[in-house]
Structure 1
Amino acid sequence: MKKVFVLVVLFILPVVAYLFFASGVNNFGKLPILTENIEDVSSLNSEVTFANKISIFGFLGSNVEVKKGAAFNLNQKIYKQFFEFKDFQFVMLVPLGAEDKVKELKKELGGLVNINKWNFVFADTSEIQNVYNSLQTNIKLDSNYSTPYVFIVDKDLSLRGRTSDEDEGTKYGFNANSVAELNNKMEDDVKIILAEYRMALKKNAANR
């Protein structure tokens, strides 16, 4: 009897534990889709597109100086970790007229890391509002057409987020003013969506 117990502990339990955790990855390894078919920034006469990219999408607004802190938080906590992934990008929507301010911001961000995957798209305020409305979130743009929240947009132009966040319930975006939120929530969710696409690529390769 003692031998059987030892065999169960040594061989059966590890297998059961593996199957348990493996099923957990399969069940919880996808970031929920909150909104489908959002408007692509390519519609704004831009060469930038959400299609076939994993995008961190934000609304910088006309008062760029005020958003520098949030931009640096994102640069350090999210961009630096993930920018080397092939299909990863940042997209910031900015009102026309703020080009010089953005140029200055890019120079400062570029002193810390290669920012070739930071994309700034300029548009008039009505176009910015239309793109924002297509996200269908519970967050509002301020009078400068900005928000501290940034969003995860997948390759199929769907907004990804959380449906059962412990603080907000449905979580559409991440507050870039909060280093804690970037560290404790956004970083995890970006890892999940990148892993999701890596697994899909491996599966497609194996099926060929």
Structure 2
Amino acid sequence: MKKKIVLFVLFVLPLVTYLFFASGVNSFVNLPTITKNIPDINTWKTLDDKPVALTNKITILGFIGTDVEKRKGSFFNLYEKIYTRNKDFKDFQMVMIFPDGTQEQVKALKDDISKLGTQAGWNFVFGSPQQIKTFYDKLQLVGKLDEKLGTPNVYIVDKKRNLRGRKGQDKKGKPEYKEGYNTVLVSELYNQMIDDVKIILAEYRLALKRNHNASRKI
């Protein structure tokens, strides 16, 4: 019995405390699933011809559209508020989807982002307009892509390719639903998305602890 109490204090209690504080304004201890098992994109084109997969990665997913220059400010917001805080987590990645034909614009964008610092974990993926539309429809979202196949929103996808967000009630008991995070609004990234990404990472840290403890017992 004493051994179980010691294990609880050493491993479980700190993680529960972390989840509590990580949740911030979010009333969820586990971030709800919005859409289960979305398709992978490991056969899509990339700048370096290396496949990019969503499976077994915690992904921030974005749809940029053909007007890459217009979205540049959103990239900087995302880099500073989300990427810099999580880039050291080895299974964390940023995946930005563009219509085929925007490769030269994206190369220029990469040069601009490089001025902010490292781009490790940033992935730029290209698909035909129909590919992008079909893939986006599979996300089963309320929001829609604009006529240029873009949206200011980005989405959190877990390692099992489940799209995660807020669904239920907030702390005041009011209905709350959030499927994506508006990269134009720094306040939304800071007050909501940072908290929600922390929760996802905390889930996996807790899972790693459990697996480690289980293997030690064996």
Alignment match, 1:144: 148
Find runs of 4+ consecutive structure 1 residues off by over 3 angstroms: 164-168
Q: How does 1:43-192 map to 2 (within 5 A)?
A: 43-44=43-44, 47-164=51-168, 166=170, 169-192=176-199
Q: Is the 8 A contact 2:45 2:125 kept in 1?
A: no
Q: Is the 8 A contact 2:45 2:126 kept in 1?
A: no
Alignment match, 2:5: none
Alignment match, 2:7: none
Partner Cα separation in structure 1 for residue 36 and residue 177 of structure 2: 15
Q: Is the 8 A contact 1:165 1:171 kept in 2?
A: no
Partner Cα separation in structure 2 for residue 193 and residue 57 of structure 1: 14
Alignment match, 1:38: 38
Q: Is the 8 A contact 1:29 1:196 kept in 2?
A: no
Unaligned runs of 5+ in 1: 1-17
Q: Is the 8 A contact 2:33 2:162 kept in 1?
A: yes
The 3-state SS of whatever aligns with 1:41 is: coil
How many Å apart are 1:168 and its aligned residue?
A: 7.3
How many pairs are equivalent? 187
Q: Is the 8 A contact 1:54 1:87 kept in 2?
A: yes
The 3-state SS of whatever aligns with 2:125 is: strand
The 3-state SS of whatever aligns with 1:184 is: helix
- Summarize deviations over 1:79-125 as a string: whole Å, max 9, x none: 11111110000000100110011001111111112012110001101
The 3-state SS of whatever aligns with 2:141 is: coil
Q: TM-score w.r.t. structure 2 length?
A: 0.81
Alignment match, 1:193: 200
Q: Is the 8 A contact 1:92 1:121 kept in 2?
A: yes
Partner Cα separation in structure 2 for residue 74 and residue 164 of structure 1: 26
Q: Which amino acid aligns with 1:84?
A: D
- Summarize deviations over 1:142-180 as a string: whole Å, max 9, x none: 011000000000000100000136587211000000000
Q: TM-score w.r.t. structure 1 length?
A: 0.85
The 3-state SS of whatever aligns with 2:118 is: coil
Q: Which amino acid aligns with 1:201?
A: L
Task: Report which of the two structures shows the higher radius of gyration computed on alpha carbons.
Answer: 1
Alignment match, 2:10: none
The 3-state SS of whatever aligns with 1:191 is: helix
How many Å apart are 1:134 and its aligned residue?
A: 1.1
Partner Cα separation in structure 2 for residue 184 and residue 86 of structure 1: 24
Q: Is the 8 A contact 1:38 1:159 kept in 2?
A: yes
Unaligned runs of 5+ in 2: 1-12, 21-26
Percent identity, please: 45
The root-mean-square deviation of aligned C-alpha atoms, in Å, is 1.9
Partner Cα separation in structure 2 for residue 198 and residue 70 of structure 1: 29
